[in-house]
Amino acid sequence: MRDGAPDNASFETLDGERSRVTGTLGFTTVTRLLTLGAAAIAQGRAAVIDLSAVTGSDSSGLALLIEWLSVAQGAGRALRYENIPAQLHQLARLSDVDALLSGSAAAAESATTAAVTPDLATAGSAAPPR
């Protein structure tokens, strides 16, 4: 993402169920991070991922965070992001997915379900035909 300089990023597991991402979340770094993060999530070592050391991101970084939420949901694990950089928040708002990042894997599932499930209280309030 920087002019001529290689992008670097790392995924570290910390104590308990905490992990941390450092560096730039970009096209050249997310594939490796996806694998590392998905394994940590599946093993229960990444219920909280700290993003305070992320120095830059593009849309592929946002896609990475959303994919990790999907991995957590599929594994039946909770996942929450801490210290999301302003740049990622802005990308999420512009992409209309900020609700996914602000909560957890459970919130992501709720947002997805709400988007595809009609409100039964207002849908079909008339009696069915006989």
Domains defined for the chain, CATH in brackets: 9-104 (3.30.750.24)
Total-model pTM: 0.76
Residue with tokens 């008339």: 126
Q: Are 57 and 85 in contact (CB under 8 A)?
A: yes
pLDDT in tens, the chain (130 residues): 445 455 799 999 999 899 999 999 999 999 999 999 999 999 999 999 999 999 999 999 999 999 999 999 999 999 999 999 999 999 999 999 988 888 655 544 544 444 433 333 434 444 444 4
The β-bridge partners of 24 are 56
- Residue 43 dihedral angles phi and psi, to the nearest 5°: -85, 0
